[in-house]
Chains A and B, each alone.
Chain A
Amino acid sequence: MTSTVDTSSSPAATVPSGLATVARAPRWLRYALLAVGLAVALWLPNGLYPAVAVDILCWALFAVAIDLLLGFTGLMSFGHAAFWGTSAYATGLVAIHAGVPFPVAVLAGALVAAVLAVPLGYLAVKRTGIYFAMVTLAFAQMIYYIANKWGSLTGGENGLQSVPRELFGLDLRDEYYFYYAALPIVLLGLAAAWRIVNSPFGRVLVGIRDNPARARALGYPVHRYKLTAFVLSAFLAGLGGGLFVMGHRFVSLDALHWTTSGKAVIVVVLGGIGTLWGGVLGAAILVRLEDWLSYSGFETIGLVTGGIFVLVVLLFRRGIWGSVAALAQRWRASRRR
């Protein structure tokens, strides 16, 4: 309140940006982390059920897309299931009716999500903070109702079944091979997110997050920047949703439900808001945990995810990546002295 910069409008401002900390880490450490990350990504389906590994990839992309808005633009979308789910349906429909290679179907689905994000984002960015969350949630519910009623296109309650998975005649029926076919798309999506955040455009977004009035005074069209970030985020979420339907070979209304939007935000908070890669960690943990719970016959999964969420919000607001980054920074600061 006493500082000249009012940061109260952004949730990320209340936690130190983990990415900034990592970017200040020595170059060798950053390359080492990248190498470890790639090695884990290449090994993953050997250590987990391949189907679970594919889910982790999709949710990682979803989480990073949301962090792009939440952590770097200061906008909490509580309706990103609209883009994840719309892309899932569009990808499924393209794959069923056009019979194209699966990456083309996924790309088409993500483009549909991005196009949908233009009008919804245009309306939503008129509000900020908690209102933005409510407006996006409401619009996502609208898309859910439309998909439910438009049964001739979406299959209504049944969803789309047996979506083909095709890539130049390669046999991708085994989830293990599909994982490696999907991995390049996910890595491209993650690299794009990293590039956006570290571009001049991304710096403007952070400037808007920290002080919208100053950004406006400097002559930046704040609404247009927010809308662009929203559409880019929807596209990335759409890539995740498209791969998700390819991974499961079916899509149901669950993909559009508000619980999906909420779960994606949980993943980001668990990993660390404003850390970008934290979302990848959060996705890995939550997807693995949910799989383990349902495998061991646990029926009240919502109790566990809700409980984790409540605990993280109450006690662990920096998230995993944010906490580790803060610890590392303190350690280095003490060594320098």
Chain B
Amino acid sequence: MSGFLQHTFNGLVGGAFYALLALGLAVIFGMLRVVNFAHGAFYMLGAFGAYVLLTEVGVPFWGALVIVPAALGLLGMALERAFIHRLTRLDPLYNFLFTFGLTLILQDLVRSRYGVQSSPYTTPAGLQGSVDFGLFTFPTYRVFVLGFAILACLGVWWLLTHTRIGMVVRAATERPELTRAFGIDVGRWVTPVFGFGIALAGAAGVLAAPMRAVNPLMGADLIIVVFAVVVIGGLGSIFGSVAAGFGIGLIQAWGEAYLSETAPILAQTLVFIVMAVVLLWRPAGLFGREEAPA
């Protein structure tokens, strides 16, 4: 029983990263109709940002958790203004291709500077050790990551439902033409929303630095799983993307725990099998609406 709880907790922590990345992808997609392939690269930059700040400048984890997402958010806003903006009028595939090219560039820049080996990042002071919940104990840092992700998701939910910006974003996501017809300047919010989505990816990267290997390729493999996650949840649905993120984290952790001995291939491909089942059963995703007939 305590083993099962342990795996469940680990699944939720793994799912927290999927959820943070899927959340950023979903708000960006909702506002710009852009699927940002470079989301994984920004996650990687977040982890490297934390690493560089600690080793070369001496800024600790807590400082990095503020500085890195803010800096990456600004970088994202600049990229949106300079390039992505020009392509949003065209087919969404062009921005997918653009951000793919961007991913190759960012990865190679980091690789040429820091190599492909993983760089270590120590667990921040105050979050070392573990928390005793009576029946079981969990590493403090992982408890913190899970709490942070849940708070971030709740915070975004509150922003979307209780603020004027959130109202505009939701309206623009669901009925872009009608929102404009009401005289709301949707374009004003596009750049900040893009930056915000990138900042979420950056924050996930900073959180990942003490737990996962920091290397230039850490984002690329992750983003493909996140794509499967948003196909499962339905990219149009922000709630669906977050829920699918946690759900896939759980399924992967259970698969890893109970299947990796007997069926290693199955354990590693569970997320894709879930995606196949969802495509058969509800092609629009579990929480997505049917696409308008093309």
Instruction: Encode A74-87 as 1/0 by CB contact (under 8 A) with B.
Output: 00101000000000
Of the four ranges (under 10, 10 to 19, 20 to 34, 35 or more), the interface on chain A belongs to: 35 or more
Instruction: Encode B210-225 as 1/0 by CB contact (under 8 A) with A.
Output: 0000000000110011
User: For the complex, is A130 an interface residue (Cβ under 8 Å from B)?
Assistant: yes
Report how far A257 CA is from B82 CA in the complex, Å: 30
User: For the complex, is B126 an interface residue (Cβ under 8 Å from A)?
Assistant: no
Tell me the chain A residues, 163-218 only, with Cβ under 8 Å from chain B: 212-213
Q: Are A310 and B102 touching (Cβ within 8 A)?
A: yes
Q: Are A265 and B97 touching (Cβ within 8 A)?
A: yes
Among B98, B105, B231, B268, chain A packs the most CB atoms within 10 A around the CB of B105
Distance (whole angstroms) from the CB of A70 to the closest CB of chain B: 9
Report how far A256 CA is from B164 CA in the complex, Å: 46
Of the four ranges (under 10, 10 to 19, 20 to 34, 35 or more), the interface on chain B belongs to: 35 or more
Tell me the chain B residues, 58-104 only, with Cβ under 8 Å from chain A: 83, 86-87, 90-94, 96-98, 100-104
B288 (CB) vs chain A CBs: closest residue: A131
Q: Are B227 and A129 touching (Cβ within 8 A)?
A: no
Q: Are A11 and B105 touching (Cβ within 8 A)?
A: no
User: For the complex, is A323 an interface residue (Cβ under 8 Å from B)?
Assistant: no
CB contact under 8 A between A317 and B94, given known A9-B294, A139-B272, A301-B108: yes
Tell me the chain A residues, 140-184 only, with Cβ under 8 Å from chain B: 141-142, 145-146, 149-150
A213 (CB) vs chain B CBs: closest residue: B293
User: For the complex, is A14 an interface residue (Cβ under 8 Å from B)?
Assistant: yes
Residues of A within 8 A of B276 (CB): 123, 139
Tell me the chain A residues, 39-79 only, with Cβ under 8 Å from chain B: 76, 78
Instruction: Encode A235-273 as 1/0 by CB contact (under 8 A) with B.
Output: 000000000000000000000001100100110010000
Tell me the chain A residues, 106-154 only, with Cβ under 8 Å from chain B: 123-124, 126-131, 133-135, 137-139, 141-142, 145-146, 149-150
Report how far A313 CA is from B95 CA in the complex, Å: 8
Residues of B within 8 A of A275 (CB): none
Residues of B within 8 A of A32 (CB): none
Residues of B within 8 A of A142 (CB): 269, 272
Q: Are A130 and B293 touching (Cβ within 8 A)?
A: no
Among A213, A301, A307, chain B packs the most CB atoms within 10 A around the CB of A307
CB contact under 8 A between A213 and B294, given known A127-B279, A130-B92, A138-B231: yes
Distance (whole angstroms) from the CB of A89 to the closest CB of chain B: 15
Distance (whole angstroms) from the CB of B268 to the closest CB of chain A: 5
Distance (whole angstroms) from the CB of B102 to the closest CB of chain A: 6
User: For the complex, is B289 an interface residue (Cβ under 8 Å from A)?
Assistant: no
Residues of B within 8 A of A306 (CB): 101-105, 108
Which A residues fall within an 8 A CB radius of B?
A: 6, 8-11, 13-14, 76, 78, 123-124, 126-131, 133-135, 137-139, 141-142, 145-146, 149-150, 212-213, 258-259, 262, 265-266, 269, 299-303, 305-310, 313-314, 317
